[in-house]
Amino acid sequence: MLDDLKMIHERDAQDALGVAGKQWQQLQQAYDLAFKPKADVKNVVFAGMGGSAFPGFFFQTWPGLSVPFEIVRNYSLPKYVDEHTLVIVSSYSGNTEETLAALDDAISRKAQIVVIAAGGKLAERARVEKHPLLLIPGGIQPRMSSFYFIPAFFKLFQSLHFIEDGTADQLLAVSEWLKSQNDSWKPEVPTAQNQAKQIALELMGKTVIMYSGPLLAPAANKWKICFNENAKNLAWWNQYPEFNHNEFIGWSSHPVDKPFAVVEIRSNLEHNRIQKRFEVAERLLSGKRPAPLVVQPRGDTLPQQLFWSSMLGDYVSIYVALLNGVNPTPVDLVEKFKKALDE
């Protein structure tokens, strides 16, 4: 079915597969930024929701910052936020109400502010209130824009010396490497040679449960987001070693009939004890949960594995959407929900 290009074009009317295939280009986006701290920046808070928060989560894993960094998915900011805090306010649409409220909170705390948006109220407020603005290219769904944010972050954090010199060069190298890796997942590649299509067929009709170690956690989270929004499919995620301290035992009992599919992203870069935990958990849970579908990320470096795994999740979820008979691009129920909140 997934080799029927006519069906793919009909169901993927807005070309989500084409957008996914060009994500490597987002890592090469250049930005202008004029931000000079008014006081020493002692910590960073990143306020965002959904796909607009994902890049912050990604940054916690790689390359990491030399100052405390917290992600806030809420209307309000932590109590410690003050004039020594850099608050990054992020919304692709620019109209996310939680993020706009977080901006008000940041202003009231006299925090230093940088705005990242593709437009909307947030970008307009940045211009009027003279907050430094990193303007993201618009025109696609927020979950498909995540890679645009990464070079924007690099621009900001390099100017503050919060990341090591030379890290941005790795980003450009990864983008070119991803370009070649991406080719094997495209719709014209038949299922027999297409890993993304093969995984989609195994996951169709199931609630998808994602697991990873700490290093690949952003990719597992990205799969979960994309299954929800692209495939309109229930999914959740967790990570090792926390999994072994609670969720692990949950698999041992009810429900007896488990209509789930388990996917584990197992990186050879994770701590050796994390890798052993995957193996031991699989053995002890044999017969109590579905056998995990193991994804072993390609790449020799952490950024290669993170971006590769994230892009694979995009393709898999879009193919599941096509198998589900739905258009992967629109999220009509989310838009209906937002309108209902304003009634």
* CA angle, residues 30, 31, 35, in degrees to nearest 5: 150
Residue positions counted in the chain: 343
Indicate the residue type of 131.
Answer: H
Distance CA 336, CA 188 (A): 35
132 closest CA partner among 32, 13, 20, 218:
32
The answer to whether 6 is a known catalytic residue is no
The answer to whether 245 is a known catalytic residue is yes
Alpha-helical regions (H) of 130-164: 146-159
Q: Which two tokens stand for residue 114?
A: 């940088």
Q: At what angle do helices 97-108 and 120-129 cross, to 10 degrees?
A: 20
* HEC profile of 213-243: CCCCHHHHHHHHHHHHHCCCCCEEEEECCHH
Q: Which residue has the tokens 């020799």?
A: 300
* CA angle, residues 231, 26, 182, in degrees to nearest 5: 60
- Give me the catalytic one of 245, 254, 339, 343: 245
Distance CA 66, CA 164 (A): 9
- Give me the catalytic one of 229, 232, 264, 270: 229
Q: Which two tokens stand for residue 195?
A: 């890993």
Residue 300 burial (10 A CB sphere; 0-12, 13-18, 19+): exposed
Indicate the residue type of 259.
Answer: P
The answer to whether 271 is a known catalytic residue is no
Positions marked catalytic: 229, 245, 338
